[in-house]
Structure 1
């Protein structure tokens, strides 16, 4: 069995493994050997699944859990978000979230160690993705906005809009369908969503800038030099102050965004920044670690750049 499992990159229930022809003894020996790991009670995966991101691991577990429950169930909340390919930031992945159309249920969600079931999700809020029933993107965003922190919900919603998976009008229409708590909170959160942000770092940076009281920047602006030659596309722009803000995800210099080496990426960024400086732009940068751990330092850096520009006139 071990040799076969190393070729499979998925999560299975014990029943599914037995149906594939593996015996209980083989399953137990693979667990003891470490080639098979227990994801949650009754669900197992090859150890190679640990090489994937937490979102992918949760997605595979959630899809396996869905296969083992009643057919009217659907993945919901963060579990649906992982299937839709939305960006996930600071949301608990320790439980699979399910939804059922038990509209007569009066009690709150059913919560267990590995599972949360919302029993009041209507069928028209459910769609099908990769053969699995999941709440629609609009319903998924509405649920996250009702229950998660502002940053977490905005990151997911920005991601959905950036990929053209839904619209704010569709999310608001879903909210009008949902009774109970959290709807007003969700509407306040959705007012902060902007699909022009292309990464969680950009979304969170935009929120911090807004909360700080700094002037709102333009997003994702293409700049040209005085001769009309392309200089670059920048994350944040304070045009009147001639200040550019760039947020650098760590993957940018680790080969995550293309075939270039870290050295080539850094060299290209330096040339790009120098060209912007030569045209009279002031460029400031910050990283994911800075924004998450010391957002006040990032805000002070932006404020200082704007003040320098004001003094220069």
Structure 2
């Protein structure tokens, strides 16, 4: 194939350029982009940061660029590719590829994002089962002295693998920062007729529950009806259900904390 023929195929969208000198018949995902980078380098690229987090399944930042360790050959960061100098990073093979170890990856990402997203990253890393709390603690020690490590270290006691979404982690950080009593996570409420409803946050003694509702919460009328019936069932058991949306968490956290505290106080007074 001549260069001109290749250019024609690219212009028609029948072939896409992945990296310099490497093309594909369709735009590849992360594994394909890494494999293409291997071809470009002539050796295996080592994933790190958000790309490694994607391979492990705990990337809460929706990373689009490919992040790799400096391979020791001429490779520069460019659009869609970031090359990192990370001396001493432990490696692990995941899905057939080399990447920085899961706990190291989680802590490294947590060091460089905001506190809410850092806690979300640590929670997600535990949730996947790729690492345990002691692994995260060891990774913090290994990265001591690096920028952002103190903030990541301070969040470690609050990391909880029971969190099932990044926004649940952000909600929990509001509770931590504003000293709302610690809730149970993913708590199951049982009805007399055998139904079981699970809520994001619960204070069983006060019979108060809180649920994060994202924009995708209701994907249709049937789902909305089912959720309304679920909430009604929980309320029939004497529980107060507090809905939480993103604006509560990111724009008015103090109001959210006050609302939760007020509900907890009223429930305790009533009992």
TM-score, length-scaled by structure 1: 0.72
User: Equivalent residues in 2 for 1:1-313 (5 A)?
Assistant: 23-37=2-16, 57=29, 60-69=32-41, 71=43, 73-89=45-61, 93-94=64-65, 96-99=66-69, 112-113=77-78, 114-122=81-89, 125-178=90-143, 180-182=145-147, 183-225=149-191, 227=192, 229-254=194-219, 262-288=220-246, 290-313=248-271
Pairwise CA RMSD: 3.0
Change (3 A) 1:150 1:68: farther
Deviations 1:210-241 (A, max 9, x none): 1122222111111123x473341111112232
Change (3 A) 1:111 1:299: farther
Query: Unpaired segments of 5 or more residues in structure 2?
Result: none
Q: How many residues align?
A: 266
Deviation track 1:121-170 (CA, whole Å, cap 9, x = no partner) reads: 34xx1111222111111111121123322222221221121121111111
Distance 1:23 1:215, change over 3 A: farther
Contact 2:22 2:40 in 1 (8 A): no
> Tell me, what secondary structure is at the counterpart of 1:68?
helix
Other-structure match for 1:9: none
The alpha carbon displacement at 1:290 in A equals 4.5
Calculate the TM-score normalised by the size of structure 2.
0.82
Report deviation, 1:289.
5.1
CA distance in 2 between partners of 1:46 and 1:304 (Å): 58
